[in-house]
Structures are given as structure tokens and as C-alpha cells.
Structure 1
């Protein structure tokens, strides 16, 4: 089993990123051969400040390593350091069909009413995503609900290329479903909205760089309701803020929601919030300390990324060479 997944170096990582994706990556390292990349080419699909992008690449690498991604167990690399991603993407753009891309709902959502003004990259980036995966003959890709369409596209492209050129080069990847449900972390100010760095209120999220005091303050001021916690998870339905805080506690401690409620049933948030804050501080304090160490050693971060990129390139180069050969181009 080989798993490939990427994350855009956009900066501003928060608890939702950590519990919803990054810690799942950490667990994957024990279950499969993993390649994790900083998707800096994908970051160019919208306007981005070059200086900020350069800074965010190191910051994201530091955050991933601090969170538990081990460059010795996994291959951690920078997408743009490997030209084969862009080269294969062009070949696959000539395999993909316009009708397939027209069905991608994320382009419609991200371009909004200004579709004519959106970049071509925003339209075609699902093909680059396919190249990211097919280049390494990944067998599995971890996907959320919003990326299932893109995985299907990658499978369609792989099958069509293999059929068109009568080769068995690309592996149609399967979705990777790690053990346990993915944590869906919502805003601390609105339990019906996802936790997001784009929310104008910093009180809506726990940033990975927040101090212990800031974490405690944000949890103390998190929106709740006056009712005590129930003993049945079903009774949290219709109480989005309560359900979110219980879900965060469950994700942080590894306990089931049922176990959390059995301990706090009948108690109000005056008792629950301090326990939640303590659990978050215990999780994030060592992570933040490690992040600071890595930030202070940019040369080591660059070395780790360069090493990961060299390892990834050695895996991807033979596949690209075969793709060139299949379509009749010298390499």
C-alpha cells in the first residue's frame, strides 16, 4: 500500500487542520508507505504573495514535523521541487476531457460569480492533483467528502491513459479510509460553521501557535448553551456548539463521545470547559515547543525537504519516463 496526500502551504494552521487531517497522516505512517507533499504549485491557482508563499512553505513543513510527521518514516517533500509533477500534468491534461472538468463542483464553488475571471489553473488543478498521485503509482489517497470527485477523476484519467496507449502504467487509486471517523471541528463561535483561518474572529479557532493562556481563554469564551451535558449522544443533536466541544474533547483524548458524556453527564460547561482546555494544552504545548525549535533552524528544514524531494523524485522519474515513451516522446 502506498499513500500520497498533499496540503497547501497557506499558513495559519489551526485545531481543525490538526485533528481533521494532520494527526490522521501521523497514524497513516504506521499503516502504509506514505508520501506527503507541500502543494505549492496548487497554491498558485489564486493570487498569492510570493514572499508569503516562501515563508509558508517552511512554516508548513515545521508544523507537520512538529505534529508527528517523521521524515524518516515518510517522504515529506515540496511539490515544486519535482518538475515531473508539472510535466505529467500536461500529458494528463491531454488525456482528460473537458466534460469531466466541467462536472467538478469545487471549481464552481471557488470561482463563484467570477468564473470568466478565474485562472485556468483553478479550472485544471484537479488534473495536477491526478498527476501528484499517479506519478508515484499510489494505491490509496485519503480523501474528504469534498475531494471524492477529484479522486474519481484521477481514476478515470488513469484508466483512459492505460487504455488509449495499451499500457499498465498508472494505478487507479482507491480512497483510503483510516481507522476511526475523521474529526470535523467547527467554529468556537458558531457550531454550524467549520473552524477556518478565514473567519475574521480569532476567537473562533484554536491556532497551533496559541499560548496555553490563549487556548484556555478561547475555550472559556466559546459559545455554548445553558443546558447541562446529556448522557446520550443523540441528545446533542440540535445543540451544535455543545456537540462541537464534546467532539473536540473526544478527538483530543481518543475517548468516544459516549465515554466523554458518561463522565460529564449532568454537568454544565463551567465544569466541562476547564477539562477541555487542559486536554488541549496537553496536546498542543509540546507541539508548539517543537514548532519553535524547527522555526529557529531553517537550514535543517530546508535539508529535510531537499532530502524528501530527492527520494520522491527517484520514485517518480521512471513513471514519467514511461509516460513519455507511451505517448511517443523521447525522454
Structure 2
């Protein structure tokens, strides 16, 4: 990648209770990244409209995501924490990217196919254009790195495609205005304005699965509350859910290769590894050959130890919604200053007045 200032962008949708998968797959990584990178953490409330247009209390759900960020240890003074709808540039750049992206790119997105189902003609245009808004979220700040789960990696690849096409189509104007840097694209070098953001996918639990079915992702929308550990669950509830988690009758293997074909065992070992900051191999060195009746209590104790303080801090933060709103407003003002500069450049490149 060419010379762009390193910047991390990521966000979480405010759609229902946050759970262990959100924490291990996203928030825990956010906390670690803020020590080494400049970061922007967003509550992507506009994206939530693609899941459900009419919602009970979107504002409160937005505050809950912000509270989780703060309770987990994200510092809103050192980094930017805000909600997407408070910065109009996200929607404005998304429209421009709708004109850059191709319909074929959108219809090939796996998540669109899964969420639209067989009745695609009845799916909202917003659901189809979701990846274009995601691209705008990232590129509005010219972010260089994005922590994503495996299920979002395809969307990030499309973000790179949009950036590549914009850079290629407007290379001469970008150069003439002195707004880009030379970037290699295949056999040619163009003057790129947008970076090609790199995914950050790491750790032993990049995709946390359901406690009731190891073949399905842990989800807020699963009808069974026993399928997930919510970040607001108390100690007893966390322990009960782990005790009831689905397993198989065999003992734990002594090495990771032995987890093949055992999705529930692989999931629980991955959760233990991620919560403890160790590898799956380390966990199996300790617990290999032992039954789940011995492993589950250890996992429950670890989960309670790690998650209970976050749940307590979330309740404390949520008790003062006005302070959450002030934090989001401050973050939005700082984000808007960055976004406005990008939009001014993009409008200049396109020839748009205003």
C-alpha cells in the first residue's frame, strides 16, 4: 500500500443485546488496538435500518453499544467514539460510492444472498447497498486497517474494489489536484486518493459460534437465549449457559488437529483461548484427555472473571445516558472534521460544487 497514515476504523450495529461473540470478535480487539494505533470506533446505526426499519428503541440500543465500548476500556479522549448518523458524510459518500460500485458486485455478496433469502425482489435497496455504506464508513476517514470477522471480509474486499475503481477512474484529476499518492495497480501506477484498507483478522476466536449449535454463528437474533452469553448476563447466568452448552461425548483432544469435525468442542476451546489470551494448543496441552465435566467449570470461572467487570461497568455507564450522549457528540464533532476534509477533496475530484 502507498503512503497513507495508519488509521483503524471499525463499528458495531446497534441491533439487540451484545454478546460474547461481539466482545471476542470485535471489542476486545478494539481495546488492544488503541494502544498502538489511531482508532475510530463507530456505532453504525444507519446499518441497523437494513436489519429492521421500525425498531423499539434504536437510541437506547445505540447507547448500549457505546457503553460497551467504554466499559471494555476504550478511551474516548485518545480515540474517536461516535454514532454514524451524527456524521452526514457517511450517507453522502455512500451515494457517490453507489455510483462507483456495480450492481453485479452487490448481488454477489454472500450476506445479501443469505439475508434476502429466496424473495430477493422484496429485499430493501438498503440491504443490497449495505456494502457501499460500509465502504463509505471506512474510506470517509481514509482508514488503512479494519478489524473484521470472517463474515465481513468479503465486504472489505468490495471496499477495496470501490477504492481501486475510484482511484483508477479519477487518477488524472487526483494527480492534477495533488491529492493522492502513487499506487501500484497491476501493471500500472495510478495516483490514488483512497487507501486499500487491510483486514485485521486474528486470534483463536475470530468467529464465535452458538453454544447450542457449533455450526451456527452466535447471534443476537437466535430465539434461544442459551445459545449466547450476553455481556449483561450475571455470574450465575454465564455459568449456567456454559454448563448447558452442547458438547460431544469424547474427551478433549491433546492438540488442535483433534478438534476437526467437532464444532462444539472447537468453539468452547476457542472461547477459552480468546478469553485467556492463549492459543488453542496451550489450552489442549492443559486440558487434553479430560472430559467436558472438568473443562466446563474452568471455562465458566474464566468467563465470569473476564465478563462480570464489563457487565458491571456497562450498568454504571448506562445509568447516565446524558454522559453517553455527550461522549458520542464530542466524538461526532471530531469525526465530522475529518469527514468534511475528505468530502471536500472528493467533490473537488468529481467536479461537484459546494
* TM-score (norm. length: structure 2): 0.88
Partner residue in 1 for 2:99: 94
CA distance in 1, matches of 2:227, 2:289: 26
Partner residue in 2 for 1:229: 252
2:209 equivalent to 1:186: yes
Q: 1:291 aligns with which of 309, 314, 318?
A: 314
Write out aligned runs for 1:1-331 (5 A).
1-165=6-170, 166-167=173-174, 168=180, 170-177=193-200, 180-331=203-354
CA distance in 2, matches of 1:212, 1:87: 44
With over 3 angstroms needed to count, the CA separation of the structure-2 counterparts of 1:49 and 1:163, relative to structure 1, is same
With over 3 angstroms needed to count, the CA separation of the structure-2 counterparts of 1:5 and 1:217, relative to structure 1, is same
Q: Which blocks of at least 5 consecutive residues in structure 2 are unaligned?
A: 1-5, 175-179, 181-191
Alpha-carbon deviation of 1:9? 0.7
Does the 8 Å CA contact 2:18/2:230 hold for their aligned counterparts? yes
Does the 8 Å CA contact 1:35/1:76 hold for their aligned counterparts? yes
Q: Secondary structure of 1:94's partner?
A: helix
CA distance in 1, matches of 2:204, 2:290: 26
Q: Which blocks of at least 5 consecutive residues in structure 1 are unaligned?
A: none
Q: Secondary structure of 1:4's partner?
A: strand
Does the 8 Å CA contact 1:7/1:39 hold for their aligned counterparts? yes
CA distance in 1, matches of 2:196, 2:81: 20
Please tell me the root mean square deviation across aligned C-alpha atoms, in Å.
1.8
Q: Secondary structure of 1:189's partner?
A: coil
* TM-score (norm. length: structure 1): 0.94
Q: Say which is worse superposed, 42-51 or 252-261, in terms of deviation.
A: 42-51
Does the 8 Å CA contact 1:229/1:267 hold for their aligned counterparts? yes
Task: Write the deviation string for residues 30-88 of structure 1: whole angstroms up to 9, x where unpaired.
Answer: 22111111111111123333442111111111112112222123211110001111111
Does the 8 Å CA contact 1:85/1:131 hold for their aligned counterparts? yes
Partner residue in 1 for 2:188: none
With over 3 angstroms needed to count, the CA separation of the structure-2 counterparts of 1:164 and 1:212, relative to structure 1, is same
Task: Write the deviation string for residues 123-170 of structure 1: whole angstroms up to 9, x where unpaired.
Answer: 112111111111111112223333233223222322332333321363
Alpha-carbon deviation of 1:198? 1.8
